[in-house]
Amino acid sequence: MDSQVSPNSKPAKNILHSHNGARSRAIKDKLTEASVTLGGTLVFVALLLIFFYLLYVVKPIFDGADVTFEKNIAYEMSDTLSLMVGSDEQNEVLYRVSTTGQVDFYSALNGQSMGRFAPTLPANATVISAAASTPETQTYALGLDNGQAIIGAIGFGVTYPDNVRVISPKVTYPIAPIQLTHHEGIERLAFAYQPQKMSFAYQDGAKQWWLTRLVGEENMMTEEVEWSQTRVAVTDAPKIVQHVLMTPDQRQLLLQAGTKLFIYDIRYADELALAQVVDLERQHAKVNEITLLAGASSILVAYDDGVINQLFQVLSPKGRLYQVIRDFKLDANVVSVASEFYRKSFVAVTDTGELSLLYTTSQRQLFDATFDLGPVKTMGFSPRSNALVVDAGNKLHLFKVENSHPEVSWSALWSKVWYEGYPEPKYVWQSTSGSDDFEAKLSLMPLVFGTMKAALYAMVFAVPLAIGGAVYTAYFMSAKVRSVVKPTIEIMEALPTVILGFLAGLWLAPLIENNLPAVVALIIVLPLSIIVSALLWHLMSAKLKERLPDTYRELMLLPILIAVTYGCFSLSPMVEIWLFDGNTRKFITNELGITFDQRNALVVGIAMGFAVIPTIFSIAEDAIFSVPRHLSNGSLALGATQWQTLTRVVLLTASPGIFSAVMMGLGRAVGETMIVLMATGNTPIMEWSVLEGMRSLSANIAVEMPESAIGSTHYRVLFLAAFVLFIITFFFNTIAEVVRQRLRERYSSL
């Protein structure tokens, strides 16, 4: 019988609906694909933008220095030598001080004279010696043939008439002429000046060296400064001296005679003593120039063969003694050397006109070029070190200097550097200080080391607990308990790390310090108690096991763990008195010679471990629980035990997920900030001791970024630290993904 279509059926409409539904799904699929692709692309673009922005901020610190000629200003022909030259902060006014005390000022804009100042000398007195102090003071002293000394200072006044800046140069004399000797003129002179203390080293006509010190004390009644004077002979001093220098702190006097440098301790004028004699001899080389580096902790010695040595004091069995630390080599005879006001850069000029800008600590030649200068008399930097004035050929030559970040080099960041005052080369991070003479020490090695140290101890604490807990929860734990345990641990991930850091720093650190025997005992006793409990459970009779609830057997360990922990902390004071004379920290420090910091790597490891555990546990547990049941059931059916099935089937299949979990935890530990910031002393040291602290890259950025000046070397090095942290995490994530993919390919056939 022929089939007939029911009048109520509408096949055409059903086909149409099916067609429309397919189109709708296709459109949704396309939109979803496009949105996912767009989202992934935007994430990739965001990462690239972060990467290139960090490079953009960091790049300037690796740019080289540049010195460019601006102009020269001719001054009157004179037979007098130049004592010092320089400029104001704005590089608009240049000055030249001659050895007679005459000061000439010139406009850097048009070369016109802005004034001449000559010292007012006592009747029938003439200047027979002169000395310049360190560059930042811009002071000088004149020695007269009547035994007096005059101190002058260069200054600049700034006014704004009609909103136009006007710079007015001036010369001041902060104190009246000082009578150093009554019988002899001052043939050679060096000095150091402070408002309440002055020291003069000078040689009289009989070639005898003397030290005169003046100490001022304010009169409470008249508010005038009253000076007391002490004068002592510098015994056994050389008669013929080529260079004489005095440190601005008035602690050392340096006399260079031939190849010997005599260094006197003049901290106490009445206890003046020869501290050291440095041998400056170099084969077939003559000393041309001796000057002090900024801060006056280093001595620069220039030779006629182009070599410049840096010397500073190093601790030795005989005390702090000067020694040659590093040297620089130019191509010709060095005729003049000048150092910056505050940084460790200096400029040297040879007799061929070669001008080199060098930085001592990194031992770098920042700039080198040859200029047509003529015979160079002296040089001087501007206060901001962005200009250089060279007196040569009866002209003041003005150079523009671009040298923003001389402290940074590859060796300064990643190699050991021998800093002034240190006994040996070291990795040091010390970015700030309260002194203008301070040299920033910007080695990233202690920060990278601290980052790795914090991550290592956190992973040592977190990985066994997290993976062990994940294996048990996914494979052995009953479903009812698992439904409570897993969400509880995952909720821990939502706990703010600042809370963990706060608890670690203010509660956990003192707790560990006061109960060190208990902490050490817990590390040993807790695992043993779990093993003993498992052994007792294994030896327990089957009838007794049946009476106990099988679902909650895991929870039976809780009372045991609590009891063991309580027992360890209760016995800790007695053990401390019995073994460590009542003070474990003192025993560790004095008897074992181990540094103990209250906020140390142990505290960080425990606190950061609790932050990392939820991440590792959640991913690893999901990976293990997702292993297909037919694999484990098949293994059990073939006669394998649960442990064999776990180790040879389940864990191998889940290994990509477990490895990803560990790498995700490591990535979080490397980038963690608040816990490391609050739970350590933030000391940038390189020690693996679990009882000492550290400073990580992320914590360092958080601490120092708010106080760094935008665009400064410190600011850009902090961005470099962020870039290094970005590279480290990117490297770990890349390695993790590569290994995970290979593990997946290897065990996908199981």
* pLDDT tens-digit map of 424-451: 999 999 887 656 567 889 999 999 999 9
| 432 domain-assigned | no
Same domain, 373 and 503: no
Looking at residue 1, its pLDDT comes to: 45
| 9 domain-assigned | no
Query: Rounded distance, CA 683 to CA 285, Å?
Result: 45
493 φ, ψ (degrees, to nearest 5): -65, -25
Same domain, 673 and 583: yes
Q: Could you report the per-residue pLDDT of 402-416, keeping only the tens digit for each?
A: 998 898 888 889 999
Q: Is the per-residue pLDDT at 741 higher than 90?
A: no
Looking at residue 15, its pLDDT comes to: 54
Looking at residue 253, its pLDDT comes to: 94
Summarize the confidence of residues 144-164 as an average pLDDT: 91
8 A C-beta contact, residue 405 and residue 359 = no
Q: Can you give the CATH number for the domain in which 501 is found?
A: 1.10.3720.10
| 328 domain-assigned | yes
Q: Which residues fall within 8 angstroms of residue 377, CB to CB, at 6 or more apart?
A: 81, 82, 336, 391, 392
| 561 domain-assigned | yes
Same domain, 401 and 516: no
Same domain, 542 and 395: no
8 A C-beta contact, residue 275 and residue 254 = no
Same domain, 182 and 224: yes
Summarize the confidence of residues 340-349 as an average pLDDT: 92
Same domain, 110 and 249: yes
553 φ, ψ (degrees, to nearest 5): -65, -30
Same domain, 537 and 655: yes
- H runs (alpha helix) in 59-176: none
pTM score of the predicted model: 0.85
Q: Is the per-residue pLDDT at 740 higher than 80?
A: no
Comparison of pLDDT for 234 and 218, the residue scoring more: 234
| 29 domain-assigned | no
Summarize the confidence of residues 322-329 as an average pLDDT: 93
Query: Rounded distance, CA 589 to CA 595, Å?
Result: 6
Looking at residue 639, its pLDDT comes to: 85
| 268 domain-assigned | yes
Q: Both tokens of residue 559? A: 């009372």
Q: Could you report the per-residue pLDDT of 488-519, keeping only the tens digit for each?
A: 888 888 888 888 888 988 899 899 888 888 98
Confidence label for 11 from pLDDT (cuts 50, 70 and 90): low
CA distances (Å), origin 34, targets 45, 434, 463, 708:
16, 57, 39, 43
8 A C-beta contact, residue 596 and residue 645 = no
Q: Is the per-residue pLDDT at 8 higher than 80?
A: no
| 425 domain-assigned | no
Comparison of pLDDT for 584 and 356, the residue scoring more: 356
Same domain, 168 and 218: yes
Q: Range with the lowest mean pLDDT among 89-103, 118-132, 531-545? A: 531-545
Q: Is the per-residue pLDDT at 2 higher than 80?
A: no
Over pLDDT 90: what percentage of the chain?
42
8 A C-beta contact, residue 631 and residue 715 = no
Query: Rounded distance, CA 538 to CA 120, Å?
Result: 105
8 A C-beta contact, residue 390 and residue 397 = yes
Domain boundary among 363, 397, 414: 414
Same domain, 671 and 716: yes
Q: Is the per-residue pLDDT at 17 higher than 60?
A: no
Same domain, 352 and 207: yes
Q: Could you report the per-residue pLDDT of 366-382, keeping only the tens digit for each?
A: 999 999 888 899 999 99
400 φ, ψ (degrees, to nearest 5): -90, 130
Looking at residue 596, its pLDDT comes to: 86
Collapsing DSSP to helix, strand or coil, 562 comes out as helix
Q: Which residues fall within 8 angstroms of residue 649, CB to CB, at 6 or more apart?
A: 627, 631, 632, 635, 640, 750
Looking at residue 13, its pLDDT comes to: 53
Q: What is the distance in angstroms between the CA of the first residue and the CA of the last residue of the chain?
A: 56
Domain that holds residue 141: 67-414
Same domain, 186 and 95: yes
Q: Can you give the CATH number for the domain in which 307 is found?
A: 2.130.10.10
Reference 608, options 669, 521, 692; nearest CA is 669
Same domain, 510 and 642: yes
Q: Which residues fall within 8 angstroms of residue 501, CB to CB, at 6 or more apart?
A: 607, 674, 675, 676, 677, 678, 679
Summarize the confidence of residues 385-392 as an average pLDDT: 93
Mean pLDDT over the full length of the chain: 88
Looking at residue 547, its pLDDT comes to: 75
| 578 domain-assigned | yes
Query: Rounded distance, CA 141 to CA 305, Å?
Result: 31
Confidence label for 104 from pLDDT (cuts 50, 70 and 90): very high
Residue recorded with tokens 């010696």: 129
Q: In the chain, how many domains are there?
A: 2
Burial tier of 558 (Cβ tally within 10 Å: 0-12, 13-18, 19+): exposed
Looking at residue 437, its pLDDT comes to: 63
